[in-house]
Amino acid sequence: MAWIVLVLSGLLETVWAIALDRSAGFSRPAPSLVFAASLVASMAGLAYALREIPVGTGYAVWVGIGAVGAAAVGMVALDEPATLPRIGCLLLVVAGVVGLKLFH
Residues 6+ apart with CB under 8 A from 8: 45
Query: 6-62: per-residue pLDDT in tens?
Result: 999 999 999 999 999 999 999 999 999 999 999 999 999 999 999 999 999 999 999
Residues 6+ apart with CB under 8 A from 52: 2
Measured CA to CA in angstroms, residue 7 lies from 30, 76, 77, 98 at distances of 25, 21, 22, 12
Checking if the pLDDT of 1 tops 80, the result is yes
Domain ranges of the chain: 2-102
Question: Do the Cβ atoms of 30 and 56 come closer than 8 Å?
Answer: no
Within a 10 A sphere around the Cβ of 60, how many other Cβ atoms?
Answer: 16
